[in-house]
Structure 1
Amino acid sequence: MEWDWLNTGWKMLVVRGAIAIVFGILAISWPRSTAIALALLWGFWALTDGVGSIVQAFQPESRGSRVWLVLIGVIALIAAFFAIFSPAVTAVTLTWILGIWLIVRGVFEAVGAFSTNMATPRWLLLLSAALSILLGVLFVANPGAGAVGIAVWLGITALVWGAAFVAIGLAIRRELTGPRHAARPVMP
């Protein structure tokens, strides 16, 4: 028997979709709070990662890499400290770093557009480069608004994803309870 994850529980698909819709509405309604909450979540992840690296450094099988694991762990703990105790600054900083990355990526895409021998239209590569650079400059110029923008886009994505899951769940329910699956009379 083949396992089909969509048929295992249409109710869970609807629940997951409803949760995503609620998250999307909250993220769009309070984008600043969402950006701060995401920075906090990242901070707690960095805290867990830092503690895990330090613990791993003292395991018997990590003899040669102890110094590096401790160093990585301490850096993660410092980042976690700033993210947890100053999440707004962390959200802005992460957006600024994202902006720099987008600018660098756009420059490499532009250079790649002129150095490739592929059949891909050069104008598409240049358009992609221009969009990356433009978005990067916008993030670097105003990282606070960039963090809020990311939160809004995350909310929109969650809304669309949630609506799709609810629709899939209800369609599966309709298929499972449709006339083909109606109870057949039992012959005596």
Structure 2
Amino acid sequence: MTESRGQAPRSGLSYLPGEAATDPDGTLTAIGRSWTWILGSAIATLVPGVLVLVWPDETLHVLAVLIGLYLLLTGAFRFVTAFGREHGERVPGLLVAVLFVLAGVLCLRHPMQTVAALSLIVGLTWLVSGILTLYAALAAPDLPHRGVVVGVALLGIVAGIVVLAMPTASARALTRLLGLWLVLLGIGELVFAFAWRAALRRGDALPGAAGPMD
């Protein structure tokens, strides 16, 4: 991750010599480096947040399903974008992917749990993923738009701390808080997606960074 890989194709997909050794078709690696894949992850975060804010009085079951689907979809995006990294830098991304998927499964398996329990699950997920993302960003000095990635990572850390610090708040307050942070994180990922597209078009996007929350 110390040198540019040259001009990326207009589609935002880039390949590396020798990557077929681990990905015969290069498909996962190429998709993981696509700005549109990052955009999809941002939308998967933003849409549930908007829905929660628009309908804050929906049943706990609906809230749990929305949060669970958000976590599962985000985990899937994180898993693929982890393959946009070089071998030595995939571990943080894969750990975050597993964390999101496990949290999503937990929400969907027990949809009638309390809002406080949902907040605990989501808060821990955001906190740990934010820390891992921050570590990965600081360890990659040549990362394009590293400031944006660091900013989104810090946003995730703050979101996790704030949500975890309010376990006794009213159900309505916690619901609105979860929705608000989902929207903010989604906007942050949207910013990164378009910044990544700009980096790809300039040809300076590096393979070591595939997304702001991985």
Measured against the shorter chain, the TM-score band is 0.3 to 0.5
Structure possessing the higher radius of gyration over alpha carbons:
1
> TM-score normalized by structure 1?
0.37
> TM-score normalized by structure 2?
0.33
Higher helix share: 1
